[in-house]
Structure 1
């Protein structure tokens, strides 16, 4: 499956629904995923990006008591149109909408994960993230904490993004065209650091090694992303 085919898959989501038709039978069962919010299988322009970060699934804004943050909930509804437009694969990253950016899962979250990779200048850093970075989620539906690993193989949408990563993104990364960094759940994404005990790890495929999914300039993954960006005249 190609990126365009993945976008086509999500174009099947009805305008007034929050569950892809092929996922309904799974989400009718017992799970901890939120199926009353617009799904976020990715953020950023996946059809045009050159750097891809792979995570498990998007989180939920929480208040001090661990409940859904009303302000976050309001932002989801206010920007529902932008979240749906995100599914066209070319729209500017919804995380950077001004009154969305400070919420959990907003721009502040993403820029903190890539701190210093493109530039120490915040404006330049942000511009490069918006134009060149896409985040892919293995599960398109949000949750407080991902505990439903068993749904990955059941959800058609999860199989679709897995196929896209393995059919298009990883081969293109091996050819040096793009960079893929698996920041969470490498085993579930089916990504190995190398093949064979003596093999060198692929130059443009990386696996994050910290719990928070950070790829700042002080990490190996962040430095490798920067090297890729320099080699491809992104910065």
Structure 2
């Protein structure tokens, strides 16, 4: 089952938690201490993951006031649910998503947010939003949705990067993904900056799409 088939189950049923995750999240509640916010549609990936030439790997989506305001609108929630198809541009029009994505577009695409939204995708190990990863990372290896993300990384993204078809960038929490080596490939980047991109990563990403 592909990651897109996996998330089809959410499209046709439960909108905020994948059914395979429900029992695990309930059993491990004492670990993540209700830090996860389920008012958001799940965000296993944003942007055209199927076709993007640059893939950024992160731990999970974040929570802030602008994004909370955005998901209060049913039309915005529907737009975010369509992201699960893997063929939609990054939803930079949405408050919260716009602020976060604009910083990356400014850094890597010279401020061309529209172009960046079509060439860049984000994949998250954990699809549920939180303000902090301090407790959430304790369940990172336990969720079926995280296993689906790991499978996609190892059987789709890494092979595509090794063939030079995409640029794969580990942005944060590389230890959670288990990918700390570039596998000898110029198309796998281990970004060392805690926020944003280190100079080497920024240079290589910018050169890749220009």
TM-score, normalised by the number of residues in structure 1: 0.79
- 1:8 corresponds in structure 2 to 5
Aligned mate of 1:221, from 183, 195, 201: 201
How much has 1:15 moved relative to structure 2?
4.4
Q: How many matched pairs?
A: 201
How much has 1:110 moved relative to structure 2?
1.8
User: Contact between 1:26 and 1:151, CA under 8 Å: does it hold in 2?
Assistant: no
How much has 1:172 moved relative to structure 2?
1.0
- 1:210 corresponds in structure 2 to 193
User: Contact between 1:114 and 1:222, CA under 8 Å: does it hold in 2?
Assistant: no
- 2:132 corresponds in structure 1 to 145
How much has 1:127 moved relative to structure 2?
2.3
- The structure-2 alpha-carbon separation of the partners of 1:80 and 1:205, relative to structure 1 and needing over 3 Å to count, comes to same
Q: Give matches, 1:156-171, under 5 Å.
A: 156-171=144-159
Aligned mate of 2:103, from 96, 112, 117: 112
Aligned mate of 1:27, from 17, 25, 32: 25
More helix by proportion, 1 or 2?
2
Whole-angstrom CA distance in 1 between matches of 2:21 and 2:101: 27
Whole-angstrom CA distance in 2 between matches of 1:80 and 1:134: 19
Aligned mate of 1:128, from 105, 111, 115: 115
User: Contact between 1:204 and 1:228, CA under 8 Å: does it hold in 2?
Assistant: no
Q: Give matches, 1:52-71, under 5 Å.
A: 52-61=55-64, 69=65
Whole-angstrom CA distance in 2 between matches of 1:145 and 1:187: 16
How much has 1:8 moved relative to structure 2?
1.0
How much has 1:194 moved relative to structure 2?
4.5
User: Contact between 1:27 and 1:35, CA under 8 Å: does it hold in 2?
Assistant: no
User: Contact between 1:193 and 1:202, CA under 8 Å: does it hold in 2?
Assistant: no
Structure 2 residue ranges without an equivalent (≥5): none
How much has 1:226 moved relative to structure 2?
1.6
Whole-angstrom CA distance in 1 between matches of 2:37 and 2:108: 32
Cα distance per residue 1:160-210 (max 9 Å; x no partner)? 011101111111101111000000011111112345xxxxx4201001111
1:47 aligns to 2:47 (yes or no)? no
Whole-angstrom CA distance in 1 between matches of 2:189 and 2:118: 21
* Higher Rg: 1
Runs of 4+ displaced beyond 4 Å: none
- The structure-2 alpha-carbon separation of the partners of 1:174 and 1:73, relative to structure 1 and needing over 3 Å to count, comes to same
Whole-angstrom CA distance in 2 between matches of 1:118 and 1:144: 27
User: Contact between 1:58 and 1:141, CA under 8 Å: does it hold in 2?
Assistant: yes
